[in-house]
Structure 1
Amino acid sequence: MADVPWLTVVGLGEDGPAGLSGASLGALQDAEVIMGSARHLSLLPDVSAQRIRWPVPFADGLPILKDLRGRRVAVLASGDPFWFGAGSIIAREFSADEWRSFPAASIFSLAANRLGWALEHVLCIGLHASPMTRLRPHLAPGQRAIVLLRDGGAVTELARYLSNCGFGESRLWLLEALDGPRERVTQIRADTLPDTGFQHPVAAAVEFAGSGLVLPSCSGISDGFFDSDGQMTKQPMRALALSALAPKPSELLWDIGGGSGSIAIEWCLAHPKCNAISIEPRSDRAARIRANADRLGVDRLQVVTGAAPPALQDLPLPQAVFVGGGLSDALMDELTTRLPTGTRLVCHAVTLESEAVLFKWSARIGGDLLRVALSEAAPLGPKRGWKSAYPVVQWRVTL
């Protein structure tokens, strides 16, 4: 049929073609070539189509697939190809009229039905090629998650990570080859996981429990979450800065003078689609920003080692900019010249010299100035008194 795309993505369960829709079976029967992992190909009965094993890494299979244009091709995927699967990658590489997709039940759906969990209230996350730290923002007692894992060894990594974060009491349901003839479900606590081997494909359903620290959902999390050499926007000022920056989904932040990365990290924590680039001239601090971001589950944060404005030249344009260090007329010239109308700019100044820059530019282009003087109770002889921090001037403006 001329109107049928040459490429079909077929979602398979662990029982292979059994239970597939008529359309899925028809696509497999009509295919001249079937591509898939060794495990997926082994689930097929004898078929006349040529079989091609999809290579590792996954990207290496795309040129092979492109060379098959003009032939009827079926690509095998696990469950629903568009839920942490290969479908979205293929859709990016080929035009909409070249492909179609027939999903099977996803592991998430199978796991939720097996355990009686309301899927809309469960965190669904794929960690095939991602670090366990992606779970960090979600670790809270009572939270449930279904986690897709790379292989059996990743089960041990997951249990160890939860225990190290103080959530070793979490209940795990380890789901091997779910809904297939090799299915096995093991229920156990994370901190009592035995050395028993687990076989691919494997997923874990988790109910988090324990006394580990939970990341707050508000701006201005505790300073203790960040490793720092002292160069950091402290909790109260960070909360004010994030409020002024007003992160929105899918927006990008430039954090100039990153220090410990606290502003950029909290920007990313505000929403899973918020992204940030932290620009820091000192390599030791840049490395610390990288470590803080990775540990707190926002490894998507990009860290650039260099001084602004030169380090800004090749960066994608942001929707918001925070300047916590390195404030100068040269930097302001660069920002006001390069950044598009509507970009939100927030600057903090502590020294008289940087204050002077803010006063000058606020007089030139407007915006709001706020001077914040904070004091904390501290020992004063046998009693206590107020110890003042250096006042901070905040300037916020929309270009």
Structure 2
Amino acid sequence: MNAAAISGSVPGSVPEPVTVVGIGADGWDGLPESSRRALRAAEVLIGGPRQLGLLPAADCPGARVPWPTPLLPAVPGLLDAHAGRRIAVLASGDPMFYGIGHTLARTLGPERLRVLPHPSSVSYACARLGWPLEATETVSLVARPLDTVVARLHDGRRLLLLGEGPESPGLVAALLRARGWGGTRIRVLEQLGSPREALLDGTAADWPHGAADPLHVIALDCVRDPDALRLGVTPGLPDEAYEHDGQLTKRYVRAATLAALAPAPGELLWDIGGGSGSIGVEWMRAHRDCRAVSVERSPERAARIARNAAALGVPGLRVVTAAAPDGLAGLPVPDAVFIGGGLTAPGLLDTCWDALPAGGRLVANTVTLESEAVLAARHRAHGGELVRLAVAAAVPVGGFTGWRQAMPVTQWSVTKG
């Protein structure tokens, strides 16, 4: 589908833009005159039933078309069906903030859009709470697992959550209690910007309220329970944060490994021989746009990886239960690869190397002499860095204290030229 087909224009003409109008809970009364003019002039008004219901029929005579379900696949066909007519699309609040504006920009191109934003629910919430918008993190729970919020919880942090439905505040409170954040203050701001604004207040430990209004924002003042494990933002979470059977890249080696992998927003990691999933988990915790696939041949361990990912706030980590290299077939192209086991498996290193694009990184760890020899040969062939990581912990020795040395880890890290 091209822009001319959508607009009904002839080649070389300037197609009519699709106007996207942000509207708040206060409806028509809260719209500026520029938005009202666009809606009055529209021949076709597209939006959710609730949004369309906010427009007075006398002022907005255009044909009203509710979005079908599911919405995203229907967008191109719906625009095609009304080609050549003046189209206005309604969006809640700011269309470019978790709204339909992004989808339309991808479909039509930004030059085909005229966006008239309205204050978002987050802007209203910060105004009511006295929170600086630029210092307040927002997490959307719409069509996302509830556990997504866990990675954003830090003592003293303020968060705004976009709930998915009336039950969201109660579900968030239960999650916070289960994860050791029962002292967190929860405020639910309903119908922001309308005459029916309301506030529900309480703590996660004793949340007293039932279902909320469907239009709400959840505000969290995060308070960690005294006995809850403290999890920072840098790689190297405490080993106790993970459920494991001994197959775990230990804390200090893990921190060094993530430093070598160097995650960046939007990048994809292959974590091969996932074990407990710690490398993939901490790669994804580095930034909310980081992605990871953990490949683990043991079904029991694969299930454990998924549990660890959910518990540590990155439920989007994809787990593939298969042996490498066969299990790598069909995976999306990685930006980085970590190999934590199986280095002597025939074809594994070659498959990973061939899958990496130019500039991609590969990091491999081993504790065995046989695998160390493999890494030494690859280092001679491809360069990079070959290092040995040794960690010792102080332990009681009778009435004294001495050092207990962990098995040294040989690490090869390289960037593909």
TM-score class, shorter: over 0.9
For 1:379-390, list aligned pairs within 5 A. 379-380=396-397, 385-390=402-407
Give the drift of 1:175: 0.9
Q: 2:306 — aligned with what?
A: 290
Among candidates 238, 241, 245, match of residue 257 of structure 2: 241
TM-score, structure 1 normalization: 0.93
| 8 Å CA contact 1:139, 1:214 repeated in 2 | no
Among candidates 149, 156, 160, match of residue 170 of structure 2: 156
Q: State the alpha-carbon separation in 2 of the partners of residues 53 and 18 from structure 1.
A: 21
Q: 1:81 — aligned with what?
A: 95
Q: State the alpha-carbon separation in 1 of the partners of residues 264 and 110 from structure 2.
A: 30
Among candidates 104, 114, 117, match of residue 103 of structure 1: 117
Give the drift of 1:195: 3.8
For 1:194-343, list aligned pairs within 5 A. 194-211=208-225, 212-328=228-344, 330-343=347-360
Among candidates 342, 360, 363, match of residue 346 of structure 1: 363
Q: 1:177 — aligned with what?
A: 191
Q: State the alpha-carbon separation in 2 of the partners of residues 181 and 17 from structure 1.
A: 13
Give the drift of 1:119: 0.8
Q: State the alpha-carbon separation in 2 of the partners of residues 110 and 195 from structure 1.
A: 22
Q: State the alpha-carbon separation in 2 of the partners of residues 197 and 232 from structure 1.
A: 41
| 8 Å CA contact 2:153, 2:222 repeated in 1 | yes
Q: 1:39 — aligned with what?
A: 50
Give the drift of 1:356: 1.6
> Which stretch has the larger CA shift, 79-88 or 136-145?
136-145
Q: State the alpha-carbon separation in 1 of the partners of residues 45 and 35 from structure 2.
A: 13
Q: State the alpha-carbon separation in 2 of the partners of residues 148 and 116 from structure 1.
A: 18
Give the drift of 1:380: 4.7
> Which stretch has the larger CA shift, 223-232 or 95-104?
95-104
For 1:56-135, list aligned pairs within 5 A. 56-59=69-72, 61-62=74-75, 63-135=77-149
| 8 Å CA contact 1:7, 1:75 repeated in 2 | yes
Q: 2:3 — aligned with what?
A: none
| 8 Å CA contact 2:270, 2:336 repeated in 1 | yes
Give the drift of 1:188: 2.1
| 8 Å CA contact 1:165, 1:213 repeated in 2 | no
Q: 1:366 — aligned with what?
A: 383
1:145 aligns with 2:153: no
SS at match of 2:167: helix
Give the drift of 1:384: 5.1
Query: Partner amino acid for 2:255?
Result: A
Q: State the alpha-carbon separation in 2 of the partners of residues 141 and 376 from structure 1.
A: 29
| 8 Å CA contact 2:25, 2:194 repeated in 1 | yes
Q: 2:203 — aligned with what?
A: 189
Unaligned runs of 5+ in 2: 1-8
Q: State the alpha-carbon separation in 2 of the partners of residues 174 and 243 from structure 1.
A: 39
Distance 1:124 1:336, change over 3 A: closer
Among candidates 38, 51, 55, match of residue 64 of structure 2: 51
Q: State the alpha-carbon separation in 2 of the partners of residues 25 and 66 from structure 1.
A: 24
Give the drift of 1:206: 1.6
TM-score, structure 2 normalization: 0.89
Q: State the alpha-carbon separation in 2 of the partners of residues 197 and 300 from structure 1.
A: 27
> Which stretch has the larger CA shift, 376-385 or 75-84?
376-385
Among candidates 30, 33, 50, match of residue 41 of structure 2: 30
Distance 1:301 1:197, change over 3 A: closer
Q: 1:21 — aligned with what?
A: 32
Give the drift of 1:299: 2.3
Q: Tell me the alpha carbon deviations over residues 6-25 of structure 1, each in whole angstroms, 9 at most, x when there is no partner.
A: 52211101111213222211
Q: State the alpha-carbon separation in 2 of the partners of residues 277 and 203 from structure 1.
A: 32
Q: Tell me the alpha carbon deviations over residues 119-174 of structure 1, each in whole angstroms, 9 at most, x when there is no partner.
A: 11111222122222211122122111121111221111111112222222222221
Distance 1:34 1:241, change over 3 A: same
Q: State the alpha-carbon separation in 2 of the partners of residues 265 and 319 from structure 1.
A: 16
Give the drift of 1:197: 3.3
SS at match of 1:18: helix
SS at match of 1:173: strand
| 8 Å CA contact 1:375, 1:387 repeated in 2 | yes
Aligned residues: 399
Query: Partner amino acid for 2:32?
Result: S
| 8 Å CA contact 1:9, 1:77 repeated in 2 | yes
Give the drift of 1:332: 2.1
Distance 1:250 1:193, change over 3 A: same
Q: State the alpha-carbon separation in 1 of the partners of residues 132 and 209 from structure 2.
A: 31
SS at match of 1:215: coil
Unaligned runs of 5+ in 1: none
Q: State the alpha-carbon separation in 1 of the partners of residues 190 and 137 from structure 2.
A: 19
Q: Tell me the alpha carbon deviations over residues 33-85 of structure 1, each in whole angstroms, 9 at most, x when there is no partner.
A: 21222211221111322222223333254233432222222221110011111
Query: Partner amino acid for 1:324?
Result: G
Among candidates 7, 18, 30, match of residue 7 of structure 1: 18
